[in-house]
Structure 1
C-alpha cells in the first residue's frame, strides 16, 4: 500500500523530526553533531530554507523550519543522505541510520509556532 503524501503547510513552516533506527544513537560525539550542523548549513544555502530552531539529542533531531524555494522533503533528503553517508564511512558501517521517513507537523498558527519553539528548546531538559 503506498504511503500518503505529506500534507502541505499553508505557510511552509514545519516541525521536522528524525529518529535513529531502533532509537539508536546518531551522535557518538560532538564532532558528529558539528558535522550535522555543517551539513544543515550547507543545504540551507542550497535549498534556501529558513531555520528557526533545532535540537540535537543523542538519538533524534528536531528542526523548526520554513521551506521557500524547495520542498521540505527535498531539503531533509539532502541533509539526511549526506549525513548518513558520512556517518557510515566514519564508523565503518552500512545501511540505514534513520527510522522510516522523517516525521513532520505543519505549523500554521503563531500559537502553535510558539508551542513548538518552546517544546524544541525544552526537549533536552530532564524533569526532576
Structure 2
C-alpha cells in the first residue's frame, strides 16, 4: 500500500516532531546533539527554510519551520537520512535511527505560531531540565541563539516577535523572555492541554481556516490521499464536492432535501453514488440528505 502524501504548499508552516528509534536517546551526548543541530541548519540553508524555533531533547526534537517553497518532504528526507548516516558513523552502529515517520502538523494563524514557538522553547522546562529563568543555558535550542545582536543565518525571530508587537532586536527578545516566563505552564492539566493542542491532529488554527484549507486541497488534488487518519475535513470536502455535483445533475436543492420524503428515489441515487465513489459514511449521508436513521441507507440502496 503506497504511503499517504504530506501536505505541502508555498509558505506552509509546520510543527515537526520526531523520536529516536525504540526511544533511543539519540542526543544525550554533546557530540550527537551538536551534530544534529548542525544538520538542522544545513537543511535550512539547502532548502531555503525559515526556522522559527527548535529544541533538541534527549530522544526527540521539535521544529517550527516555514517552507517558502513546497519542499518539506525533500528537506526532511535529507535532514534525517544525513544525520542517520553521521550518527551511525559516529557511534559505529547500523540500522534505523528515527522511530517511524516524523509528524508534521500545519500551523494556521499568527497566534498559533507564537504559541508553538513558546511550546517548543519551554520543552526543557516542562521536562524538568532547567527553570524558565535559566532557559538560556539550555544550548540545544533556538532560544539562547536569539539573544544575539544578529541570530544565526536561517533563524527567524521577526515573525513571532512581531505578533507581540516587539522589535526584532535584543530589547525585543528580552521582552519576549518576560512573556515566556508568564507563559510557563507547571500545572499537569495545562501541560496535557498544550500537548494536545500543539502535538496532535493535522492543523493548528481556527476551524474556518482549517475548513478552507481542506476545501482548497481537495479542489486542487481530488485524487490524493493525504497523510493522517485525522483529516476528517479533507474527506468531507471530497464527499461534499460529489454531493454538490449530483444535486446539480438532478436539479435538486436544499428545499428539496427538506421537503421530499426521506426515502425519495433521487436521494437514494445520490446515496448510492456517494457509497460507490467515496468513503462517505452512512451517518454523514443521512444528515446531508435528510434521510433519517443511517441504518436505513444500506437497505434503501440494496432495494434500488
Output the TM-score relative to the length of structure 2. 0.40
Corresponding residue number in structure 2 for 1:123: 123
> As a proportion of its length, which structure holds more helix?
2
Contact preservation (8 Å) 2:11, 2:68: no
Q: Is the CA contact (8 Å cut-off) linking 2:8 and 2:70 kept in structure 1?
A: no
Query: What CA distance in whole angstroms lies between the structure 1 residues aligned with 2:57 and 2:103?
Result: 16
Q: Secondary structure at the match of 2:69?
A: coil
The SS at the match of 2:124 is coil
| Alpha-carbon contact 1:8-1:106 (below 8 Å) kept | no
Find the residue that maps to 1:16 and give its secondary structure. strand
Q: Secondary structure at the match of 1:69?
A: coil
RMSD between aligned residues: 1.7
Is the alpha carbon distance of 1:10 and 1:44 closer, same or farther for their aligned partners in structure 2, counting shifts above 3 Å? closer
Answering whether residue 109 of structure 2 is matched by residue 101 of structure 1, we say no
What residue in structure 2 maps to residue 66 of structure 1? 66
Change (3 A) 1:106 1:12: same
Q: Which has more strand, going by share of residues?
A: 1
| Alpha-carbon shift at residue 3 of structure 1 (Å) | 3.1
- Out of 96-105 and 30-39, give the one that drifted further: 30-39
User: What is the match of residue 111 of structure 1?
Assistant: 111
Higher RCO (CA < 8 A, seq sep 6+): 1
Taking a change above 3 Å as real, the CA distance of residues 10 and 47 of structure 1, as seen in their structure-2 partners, is closer
Name structure 2 gaps, 5 residues minimum.
129-185, 188-304
Larger Rg, first or second structure (1 or 2): 2
**Alignment partner, residue 49 of structure 2:** 49
Give how far 1:43 is off. Answer: 2.0
> How many residues of Structure 1 are paired with residues of Structure 2 in the alignment?
128
Using the TM superposition, give the Cα deviation of residue 10 of structure 1 relative to its aligned residue in structure 2, in angstroms.
7.1
